[in-house]
């Protein structure tokens, strides 16, 4: 096909109804990029012979080497179907779990997606993940079942077996979609019920609860994939063929004489053809007949493959002539039968026609955007659409119309920023020369050549004259001057070249975006709205009509910028555009100083920021990075900033220790980030630390069995009690510890006493707290605004319901005597006020709860009121770094059971302001003494001054009170600071009174392997502390799917080892799953002979928790208890044996 010009593409962009924004989603290695190649070759961008081999959209070198896609890239295709012309903006996305963030960025910009499934492997974990992502973004999917050639060539199935296998795959995919749909319907129904309960009258009698109601009423037929709906294509992208059943329905309707509509309904399903009656009958299996699909479709494909593979020339010629195809001699004589096969199939059933016509028929244009999706995009966090300002709600119609009129507000969403080499930008590219320029250059070359000839002739004449008259050397000196000038010219040209090269090698950032409304023009000024921008707040300062060109007051999270360049994304190429109308995907240049990762651009300040992207993978793999030469540090910092901008999932941190840390989603992702840092962004040699593995610290109930699985008997219990007594003797002075773990501690100035107890939270409660961290953060914000007496208008009903539901869940799981009223007593969550630990306020005389946003809290004034924040801060610090290895705590509840402030403490709390004022005046009077005297002298001089000043001032008692209190504050620092430190210490000691445990981050690991390598997979898993959860065989294949859990700490090099051990027949997918307690006690020491044998210094097995804890302590520079001499008895003498 002829290559489409940019002008044609620009024309098609203006016709919104003919635009289709689609992405290709699938599990890794299911054939997305090969399918994309086939679609691109239909536009003449690449040769059809190279489709599948070139992998055009994998433009990075490491993508080509590894054979996997690592970034989503877009290309615009032109497709003609009958009289209609379509512009298809195609985005190819990665399938590897490490790059699932790239899938999120692609899905947000599309209206539809192609789900690709391998016909042999069927539904895989990542297939389910991408279906869920498409569902969450409300985009419509169509299905391509790829690699059908593997059923013929590899598995050698008969057409009948292949048909039942394909039916199974369709059922599996529809089951995933059905589960998503069911959960949505039940959620909506629950919401409706709660609304009706609020409205309905109480005297209506009992209601029978019916689960199925709601599911039966809703129509879900459009959701499922079925060939007769026209949303399934069967294909083999590598062989270049694909078909939907409508192709065969048209073909056979002429031959058999049955209407195409009837054939379309019956070609897939339990129907067979009665050849005598020329009728289609139902019930093929019961009568032992071939289904229509097998008889009319699969049999033909199977016989073609058989003929080509066996080189049956007569049969091939017969097939080719009957289909009316023209096959070149080169293809038919080729040594590889696949080439011949590709030539026949790509003409008979071209995959691009089948897939693109399905896309145009079944996937929506930007005009058909669902109202539900628009509302979802516009509502950030827990806000409902109705709670948005009226000006913002009006923008919904602009979204729905997707109009490109001048008056329509411009709304653009940037889903990611990607780095491009500056040489690849259109204005830096060498362009083809015109005829005039070629003629001009020819003239210049001729002139230069003539000058050169003249110069050489002149030199020869000069030499002759010099030989004749050696005394005249003046000309020679002139020549050297000329030579010097030439050298300086050369030097200048070299430096200018170097500057030019530096400019060329610079990375330029382009925003990957889509226009949802209005027309974007080059040089236009727009507002950049960050994710935290609130239109309601800004509309108080600005009018909804104000534009980005006006001089406007500062509004938080909003800046104005100019769109420098607009690009048409064409895979590896970029084309300049002047304007882009609504509904199109585009690249925008010049936003790198305004957008970090994603943002919303608009000309209207009423536009809300879009909801943040849903990322499936959580970054857990951390490494510390530093340059090999310290002088390169500024380049590394700059490079890491650029990397952070270029990758949607990576996180770049500077830790308290000063380390520069890179947090990535997995090993492959980490490798890519490090390569980018070395070669593109920082361009310096870097050294990378071993992965920093995250752990959590927790406490458990006292164990019933010891490390060698023997029940802890009475004797051992006595030993344990003695041990605890010894430990108690170790506790510092001023700290009292009860037998049940209650720690009592006083502040340094003895004005306040705290009693704290630590308890392990039930596992279910920890999970609920983790899942609702965003809701807890929202509650914290609401409570803060209530304490500052702000209006309560921001709390909408939906958020209130979610908070109530969260509270009910906690009450449900925190039951029993020791948790009585615990939920109402929750004072704070931690760390960072939204973590999985709880602080309980369990003492008399003070009530403060996190539930005050529900409206049941009364602001009370008490002696504790001023210092409650100090207690909470101390708790936050204690939960942020535990005593074992300074890692955050998880699943711990701290109860403050006593908090006493004595009289002086109360005075401190009431008169703190007065003391500060007095302190200032006293300091001015006594400046010399305070500067020169020591700490004790300072106290004495202050006392003397206090005595002398009593006679002078009007109220001596008041001053002495201030002075005493100022002393208390001075000696040990501010009282609030003392409370923070005391609370932190109390929490740490309370924690150490209970059995402490480490929690390890765990991956779920899915491995697909054949039966012969199953043993090797198990060997690698057991070596790395993995635990197999389930193992099942895929129907119709010899492939096993193994589900296991594996500690993140043991996962490095796991994928490579499995591939090596299984000769590449098994490859794992690792996804972060949960935190799990390591059962062994890190502080346990073997006492008996048997224990020493199992866990002593020379034993085979070691204490896993202790190993991890010591590794973290070593890395953080904390004290580690270990023996330096390891093999004392193996000492060798240095003297030689004579």
Predicted pLDDT of residue 284: 63
Query: Tokens 């392997």 identify what position?
Result: 1009
Predicted pLDDT of residue 790: 54
If one counts every other C-beta atom within 10 angstroms of the C-beta of residue 480, the result is 9
Q: What is the mean pLDDT of residues 684-711?
A: 82
Predicted pLDDT of residue 697: 93
Predicted pLDDT of residue 1129: 64
Predicted pLDDT of residue 465: 67
142 in Cβ contact with 362 (< 8 Å): yes
Query: Which residues are within 8 A (CB) of 360 and not within 5 positions of it... i.e. 6 or more apart?
Result: 20, 79, 81, 84, 86, 88
Strand 140-146 relative to strand 112-118, pairing: parallel
For residue 1124, pLDDT over 80 is answered with no
Predicted pLDDT of residue 910: 47
Most confident of 18-22, 188-192, 475-479, 1132-1136: 18-22
Predicted pLDDT of residue 25: 94
432 in Cβ contact with 441 (< 8 Å): no
Q: Which of 982, 927, 918, 977 is nearest to 953 (CA)?
A: 918
381 phi/psi in degrees, rounded to 5: 65, -135
Predicted pLDDT of residue 1026: 92
- What is the Cα–Cα distance from 635 to 684, expressed in whole angstroms? 7
Q: Give the strand order in the sheet containing 837-841.
A: 735-737, 743-746, 752-760, 892-901, 837-841, 826-830
Q: What is the dihedral of CA 22, 28, 34, 39, to 10 degrees?
A: -10
> Where does the pLDDT of residue 22 fall: very low under 50, low under 70, confident under 90, or very high at 90 and above?
very high
Predicted pLDDT of residue 469: 59
Predicted pLDDT of residue 551: 63
Predicted pLDDT of residue 958: 41
Q: What is the mean pLDDT of residues 342-370?
A: 92
If one counts every other C-beta atom within 10 angstroms of the C-beta of residue 437, the result is 11
Residues β-bridged to residue 232:
143
Write the pLDDT tens digit of every residue in 511-560: 999 999 999 999 999 999 988 888 887 777 776 666 666 667 778 888 88
Q: What is the mean pLDDT of residues 719-732?
A: 53
Q: What is the mean pLDDT of residues 803-830?
A: 85
Measure Cα distances from 1053 to 125, 295, 1017, 1048 in Å.
Answer: 21, 49, 14, 11
723 in Cβ contact with 993 (< 8 Å): no
Query: Which residues are within 8 A (CB) of 699 and not within 5 positions of it... i.e. 6 or more apart?
Result: 758, 759, 760, 892, 991, 994, 995, 996, 997
Predicted pLDDT of residue 951: 36
- What is the Cα–Cα distance from 393 to 544, expressed in whole angstroms? 12
> Where does the pLDDT of residue 800 fall: very low under 50, low under 70, confident under 90, or very high at 90 and above?
confident
For residue 572, pLDDT over 80 is answered with yes
1003 in Cβ contact with 1048 (< 8 Å): yes
> Where does the pLDDT of residue 1092 fall: very low under 50, low under 70, confident under 90, or very high at 90 and above?
confident
For residue 755, pLDDT over 80 is answered with yes
- What is the Cα–Cα distance from 323 to 349, expressed in whole angstroms? 10
For residue 414, pLDDT over 70 is answered with yes
> Where does the pLDDT of residue 966 fall: very low under 50, low under 70, confident under 90, or very high at 90 and above?
very low
Write the pLDDT tens digit of every residue in 154-172: 889 999 999 999 999 999 9
Measure Cα distances from 158 to 151, 296, 974, 1036 in Å.
Answer: 9, 14, 83, 12
End-to-end CA distance of the chain: 87
CB-based burial label for 95 (10 Å; 0-12, 13-18, 19+): buried
Predicted pLDDT of residue 904: 53
Percent of the chain with pLDDT over 90: 30
Q: What is the dihedral of CA 406, 411, 417, 421, to 10 degrees?
A: 0
The full length of the chain comes to: 1138
Write the pLDDT tens digit of every residue in 183-216: 887 777 777 776 665 544 444 444 444 444 455 5
Q: What is the mean pLDDT of residues 62-89?
A: 91
Measured at the CA of 482, the angle between CA 479 and CA 488, to 5 degrees, comes to 145
Predicted pLDDT of residue 468: 61
Query: Tokens 């709304």 identify what position?
Result: 411
661 in Cβ contact with 652 (< 8 Å): yes
What SS3 state is found at 924?
Answer: helix
Q: What is the mean pLDDT of residues 105-116?
A: 93
> Where does the pLDDT of residue 424 fall: very low under 50, low under 70, confident under 90, or very high at 90 and above?
confident
Alpha helices in 561-666 (DSSP H): 633-646
For residue 947, pLDDT over 60 is answered with no
Predicted pLDDT of residue 938: 37
Predicted pLDDT of residue 501: 46
248 in Cβ contact with 239 (< 8 Å): no
- What is the Cα–Cα distance from 820 to 1018, expressed in whole angstroms? 46
DSSP-assigned states of every residue in 341-404: HHHHHHHHSBHHHHHHHHHHHHSPPGGG--HHHHHHHH--TT--GGGS-HHHHHHHHHHHHT--
Handedness of CA 620, 624, 627, 630 (dihedral sign): positive
For residue 38, pLDDT over 90 is answered with yes
More confident residue, 904 or 1029: 1029
Query: Which residues are within 8 A (CB) of 201 and not within 5 positions of it... i.e. 6 or more apart?
Result: none
Predicted pLDDT of residue 720: 53
241 in Cβ contact with 350 (< 8 Å): yes
Write the pLDDT tens digit of every residue in 757-783: 999 998 899 999 988 888 888 888 888
Average pLDDT taken over every residue of the chain: 80
Predicted pLDDT of residue 630: 92
Q: Which of 161, 195, 415 is nearest to 291 (CA)?
A: 161
Predicted pLDDT of residue 2: 57
Least confident of 232-241, 500-509, 672-681, 696-705: 500-509
Tokens of 898: 């006593």
- What is the Cα–Cα distance from 714 to 703, expressed in whole angstroms? 14
For residue 928, pLDDT over 50 is answered with no
544 in Cβ contact with 606 (< 8 Å): yes
Q: Which of 130, 28, 86 is nearest to 362 (CA)?
A: 86
- Max alpha carbon distance in the chain (Å)? 131
Cis-peptide into 831, omega within 30 deg: yes
Predicted pLDDT of residue 312: 86
Write the pLDDT tens digit of every residue in 250-304: 888 888 878 888 888 888 888 888 777 677 888 766 666 788 899 889 999 999 9
Query: Which residues are within 8 A (CB) of 284 and not within 5 positions of it... i.e. 6 or more apart?
Result: 270, 271, 272, 290, 291, 292
Measure Cα distances from 58 to 54, 670, 899 in Å.
Answer: 9, 18, 64
């Amino acid at each position: 096909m002829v290559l489409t010009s940019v002008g044609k593409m620009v024309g098609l962009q203006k016709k919104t109804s003919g635009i289709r924004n689609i992405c290709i989603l699938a599990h890794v290695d299911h054939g997305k990029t090969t399918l994309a190649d086939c679609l691109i070759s239909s536009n003449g961008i690449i040769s059809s012979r190279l489709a599948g081999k070139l992998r055009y959209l994998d433009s990075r070198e490491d993508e080509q080497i590894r054979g996997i896609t690592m970034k989503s890239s877009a290309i615009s295709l032109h497709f003609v179907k009958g009289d209609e012309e379509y512009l298809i903006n195609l985005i190819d996305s990665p399938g590897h779990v490490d790059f699932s963030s790239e899938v999120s960025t692609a899905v947000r910009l599309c209206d539809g997606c192609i789900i690709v499934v391998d016909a042999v492997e069927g539904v895989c974990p990542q297939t389910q993940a991408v279906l869920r992502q498409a569902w969450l973004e409300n985009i419509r999917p169509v299905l391509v079942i790829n690699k059908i050639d593997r059923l013929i060539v590899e598995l050698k199935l008969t057409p009948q077996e292949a048909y039942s296998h394909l039916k199974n795959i369709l059922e599996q995919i529809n089951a995933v979609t059905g589960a998503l749909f069911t959960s949505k319907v039940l959620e909506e129904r629950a919401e409706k019920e709660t609304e009706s309960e609020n409205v309905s009258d109480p005297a209506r009698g009992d209601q029978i609860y019916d689960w199925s109601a709601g599911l039966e009423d809703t129509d879900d037929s459009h959701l499922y994939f079925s060939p007769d709906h026209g949303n399934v294509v069967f294909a083999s992208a590598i062989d270049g063929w694909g078909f939907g059943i409508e192709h065969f329905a048209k073909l056979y309707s002429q031959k058999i004489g049955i209407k195409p509509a009837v054939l379309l309904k019956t070609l897939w399903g339990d129907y067979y053809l009665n050849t005598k009656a020329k009728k289609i009958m139902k019930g093929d299996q019961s009568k032992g007949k071939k289904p229509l699909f097998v008889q009319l479709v699969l049999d033909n494909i199977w016989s073609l493959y058989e003929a080509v593979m066996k080189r049956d020339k007569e049969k091939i010629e017969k097939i080719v002539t009957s289909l009316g195809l023209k096959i070149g001699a080169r293809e038919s004589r080729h040594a590889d039968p696949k080439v011949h096969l590709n030539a026949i199939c790509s003409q008979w059933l071209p995959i691009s026609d089948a897939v693109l016509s399905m896309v145009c028929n079944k996937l929506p244009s930007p005009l058909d955007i669902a109202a539900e999706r628009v509302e979802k995009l516009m509502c950030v966090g827990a806000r409902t659409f109705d709670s948005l300002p009226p000006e913002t709600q009006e923008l919904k119609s602009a979204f729905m119309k997707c109009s490109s009129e001048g008056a329509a507000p411009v709304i653009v969403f940037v889903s990611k920023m990607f780095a491009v080499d500056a040489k690849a930008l259109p204005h830096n590219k060498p362009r083809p020369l015109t005829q005039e320029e070629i003629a001009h250059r020819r003239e210049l070359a001729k002139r230069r050549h003539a000058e050169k000839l003249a110069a050489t002739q002149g030199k020869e004449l000069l030499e002759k004259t010099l030989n004749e008259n050696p005394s005249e050397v003046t000309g020679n000196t002139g020549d050297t001057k000329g030579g010097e000038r030439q050298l300086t010219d050369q030097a200048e040209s070299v430096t200018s070249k170097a500057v030019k090269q530096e400019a060329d090698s610079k990375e330029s950032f382009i925003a990957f975006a889509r226009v949802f409304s209005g027309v974007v023009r080059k040089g236009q000024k727009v507002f950049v709205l960050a994710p935290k921008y609130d239109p309601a707040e800004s509309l108080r300062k600005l009018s909804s009509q104000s534009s980005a060109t006006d001089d406007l007051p500062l509004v938080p999270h909003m800046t104005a910028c100019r769109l420098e360049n607009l690009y048409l994304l064409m895979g590896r190429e970029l084309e300049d555009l002047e304007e882009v109308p609504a509904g199109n995907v585009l690249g925008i240049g010049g936003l790198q100083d305004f957008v970090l990762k994603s943002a919303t651009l608009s000309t209207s300040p009423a536009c809300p920021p879009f909801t943040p992207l849903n990322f499936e993978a959580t970054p857990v793999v951390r490494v510390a990075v530093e340059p090999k030469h310290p002088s390169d540090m500024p380049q590394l910092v700059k490079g890491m900033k650029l990397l952070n901008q270029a990758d949607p999932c990576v996180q770049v941190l500077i830790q308290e220790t000063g380390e520069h840390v890179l947090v990535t989603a997995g090993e492959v992702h980490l490798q890519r980030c490090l390569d980018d840092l070395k070669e593109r962004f920082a361009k310096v040699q870097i050294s990378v630390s071993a992965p920093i593995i995250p752990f959590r610290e927790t406490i458990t109930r006292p164990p019933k069995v010891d490390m060698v699985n023997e029940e802890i008997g009475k004797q051992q219990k006595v030993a344990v009690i003695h041990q605890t007594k010894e430990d108690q003797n170790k506790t510092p002075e001023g700290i009292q510890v009860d037998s049940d773990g209650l720690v009592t501690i006083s502040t340094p100035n003895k004005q306040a006493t705290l009693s704290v107890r630590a308890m392990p939270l039930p596992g279910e409660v920890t999970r609920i707290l983790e899942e609702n961290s965003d809701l807890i953060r929202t509650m914290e914000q609401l409570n803060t605004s209530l304490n500052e007496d702000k209006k309560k208008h921001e709390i909408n009903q939906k958020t209130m319901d979610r908070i109530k539901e969260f509270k009910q869940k906690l009450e449900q799981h925190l039951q029993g005597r020791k948790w009585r009223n615990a939920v109402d007593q929750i004072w704070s969550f931690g760390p960072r006020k939204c973590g999985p630990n709880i602080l309980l306020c369990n003492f008399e005389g003070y009530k403060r709860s996190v539930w005050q946003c529900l409206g049941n809290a009364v602001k009370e004034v008490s002696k504790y009121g001023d210092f409650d924040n100090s207690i909470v801060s101390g708790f936050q610090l204690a939960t942020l770094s535990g005593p074992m290895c300074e890692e955050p705590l998880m699943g711990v509840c701290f109860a403050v059971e006593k908090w006493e402030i004595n009289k002086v403490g109360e005075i401190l709390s009431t008169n703190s302001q007065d003391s500060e004022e007095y302190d200032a005046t006293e300091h001015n009077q006594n400046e010399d003494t305070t500067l020169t005297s020591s700490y004790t002298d300072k106290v004495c001089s202050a006392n003397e001054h206090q005595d002398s000043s009593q006679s002078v001032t009007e109220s001596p008692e008041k001053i002495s009170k201030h002075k005493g209190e100022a002393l208390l504050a001075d000696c040990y620092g501010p009282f609030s600071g003392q409370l923070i430190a005391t609370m932190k210490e109390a929490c740490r000691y309370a924690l150490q009174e209970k059995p402490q445990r480490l929690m390890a981050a765990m991956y779920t690991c899915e491995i697909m392997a054949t039966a012969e390598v199953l043993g090797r997979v198990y060997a690698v898993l057991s070596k790395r502390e993995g635990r197999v959860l389930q193992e099942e065989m895929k129907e119709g294949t010899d492939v096993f799917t193994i589900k296991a859990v594996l500690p993140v700490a043991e996962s490095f090099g796991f994928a490579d080892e499995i591939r090596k051990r299984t000769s590449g027949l098994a490859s794992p997918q690792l996804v972060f799953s949960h935190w799990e307690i390591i059962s062994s006690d890190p502080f346990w020491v073997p006492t008996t002979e048997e224990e020493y044998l199992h866990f002593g210094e020379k034993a085979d097995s070691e204490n896993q928790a202790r190993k991890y804890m010591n590794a973290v302590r070593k890395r953080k520079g904390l004290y580690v208890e270990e023996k330096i001499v390891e093999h004392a008895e193996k000492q060798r003498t240095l003297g030689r044996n004579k």
